Amino acid sequence: MLGRSLCRAPGHGSTGHHFTAHPKQIKHIKVLVKAAEVVPPPQVQILEQGRNTNDPPATTQAAAEFLRQELKTIFRTGEITASRYARSMVFEDPITRVTDINAYQLVIRAIKTLFNVTFDLHDVTVTKPDEVTTRWTMALKAWELPWQPTLLFSGTSIYKVDASGTITSHRDVWDSVGNNAFLSPEGVGEVIRQLLHVQLTPELETPGFAVLKAARGYELRRYPPFIVAETPMPRGSTPAGGAGFTELAGYIFGGNSAQENMEMTTPVFTRSPAQVAAGGGNGGGSDAGEVTMQFVLEKRFADVDELPQPNNRKVRRKQLPGSYCAAARFAGLPFDWEVRDAERRLRAALAKDGLRAKPGYSLARYNEPWVPPPLRRNEVLVELIDFEWP
């Protein structure tokens, strides 16, 4: 309309001053008119700018907060808040699949009944407008089996949420398997493998580490600071050796300034620097270049200064800082070649997952000497570099 009125010739109903536009002017005017039709009115633009399209719906945010609270109690009580789940609730993990809320409730009750459950919730995040993802670690002690194995899993749970905030599905993805499809051979095999674990862990005090991730071939752990008594092992020693045990046992069983007997703990660590880990044996020079054996001391000692002085000058008291470590477990007698092979495989698995570790390693031995080799629990640990956890 604007273009027509400006270009209208005299005598076609217009009044006042008349002019005839040049063809180039007409083309320019038409472009302006088209632009005016496309651009929304100013008030519409303001409304669009004020709305953040990245904000998830309030119902999904509410579902995330509900799950944050629900997962704190669900395995302790064995009950779900049924009103927050759809009647046709679908749950799936590598060994289980159910398609209604009653069966979902039975799965939760069965887990509580058959296992002593330790569930650590690490994170709850709204990942899509209709999706909430949680990250967790779960330890399941099968207390009814004679050898009482502990199954350890970590992973993510993906919950779908409808427009009303009702949870309609729940899918678990385990870190320890590549194929998480229902009844995948890898998933079933992982459960059987862990059920057949017969390695024994003594009922002794141990550093209270948290397992952040149970991956394929290793665990990612967060260790708090803890105190050790340590002694250098003789020149030529390797981490799998036993030299140094007598000195440390003497310290905790009365060989100290207070003649105090302390409780035995687990594990016994032998720490190897980089050059020894590579096969060079104990150089015997400085603290940085020697193999050391360490006894973990009881948590009741909050500071090194609270500990009695060792009678043996070879024994040192030391506080280790908190750290992130990767650990690989194996059974049997920890021969040198087995320890080095475990370290090699651990580092290869970490590299595959994009993680880096410091040079050197620690060997952790949990059991008394009289425990049969197949039942012994041994671990190789390496400290991670530049690792962050949410």
78-111 pLDDT per residue, tens: 999 999 999 999 999 999 999 999 999 999 999 9
Three-class SS state of 146: coil
Average pLDDT over residues 21-49: 43
**Which candidate, 181, 179, 180, 161, places its Cα nearest to that of 169?**
161
Three-class SS state of 186: helix
What CA–CA distances, in Å, run from 177 to 267, 336, 356?
28, 29, 21
**Model pLDDT, residue 249:** 96
Cis peptide before 273 (omega within 30 of 0): no
Q: What percent of the chain has pLDDT over 70?
A: 82
Average pLDDT over residues 365-383: 95
What CA–CA distances, in Å, run from 299 to 87, 245, 366?
48, 21, 17
Q: Is the pLDDT of residue 236 over 80?
A: no
In this structure, are residues 42 and 65 in contact, taking their beta carbons and an 8 Å threshold?
Answer: no
Residue 59 binned pLDDT confidence (cut-offs 50, 70, 90): very high
Three-class SS state of 203: coil
- Supply the DSSP string of 327-388, one letter for each residue: EEEE-S---HHHHHHHHHHHHHHHHHTT-EE-S-EEEEE-S-TTS-GGG--EEEEEEEES--
> Torsion over CA of 290, 291, 295 and 301, rounded to 10 degrees?
20
**Model pLDDT, residue 238:** 77
Distance CA 373, CA 355 (A): 31
In this structure, are residues 67 and 124 in contact, taking their beta carbons and an 8 Å threshold?
Answer: yes
**Model pLDDT, residue 55:** 81
Q: Is the pLDDT of residue 26 over 60?
A: no
> H-type helices in the chain, by residue range?
2-7, 23-38, 42-50, 58-77, 101-114, 185-195, 245-252, 274-275, 336-352
Three-class SS state of 57: coil
The full length of the chain comes to 390
Q: Is the pLDDT of residue 31 over 90?
A: no
Listed in order, the ranges of the chain carrying CATH 3.20.80.10 are 221-385
Distance CA 167, CA 157 (A): 12
Distance CA 59, CA 78 (A): 25
pLDDT in tens, 10-23: 444 444 444 444 55
Tokens of 253: 């069983």
**Model pLDDT, residue 243:** 87
Listed in order, the ranges of the chain carrying CATH 3.10.450.50 are 58-195
**Which candidate, 297, 306, 307, 309, places its Cα nearest to that of 256?**
309
Find the range with the poorest average confidence among 49-53, 208-212, 317-321. 49-53
**Model pLDDT, residue 283:** 43
Average pLDDT over residues 245-251: 96
In this structure, are residues 302 and 191 in contact, taking their beta carbons and an 8 Å threshold?
Answer: no
**Model pLDDT, residue 23:** 52
What residue type is 73 in one-letter code? T
**Model pLDDT, residue 230:** 96
**Which candidate, 312, 123, 141, 345, places its Cα nearest to that of 229?**
312
φ/ψ bin of 323: left (φ > 0), alpha (ψ from -120 to 50), beta (otherwise): beta
One of 3.20.80.10, 2.60.40.290, 3.40.47.10, 3.40.190.10 is the CATH number of 221-385, namely: 3.20.80.10
81-113 burial by CB neighbour count: b if 16+ within 10 A, else e? Answer: eeebbbeebbbbbbebebeebeebbebbeebbe
Distance CA 366, CA 202 (A): 7
> Which position has the higher pLDDT, 383 or 45?
383
**Model pLDDT, residue 237:** 78
**Model pLDDT, residue 12:** 42
Distance CA 179, CA 93 (A): 10
**Model pLDDT, residue 288:** 54
Average pLDDT over residues 136-165: 97
Q: What are phi and psi of 39, to 5 degrees?
A: -70, 125
CA 259 to chain centre: 42
Q: Is the pLDDT of residue 38 over 70?
A: no
**Model pLDDT, residue 273:** 82
pLDDT in tens, 256-314: 999 999 999 999 999 988 644 444 444 443 455 789 999 999 999 989 999 999 999 99
Domain 58-195 class?
alpha beta
54 DSSP 8-state letter: T
What average pLDDT is seen over the chain? 86
264 DSSP 8-state letter: -
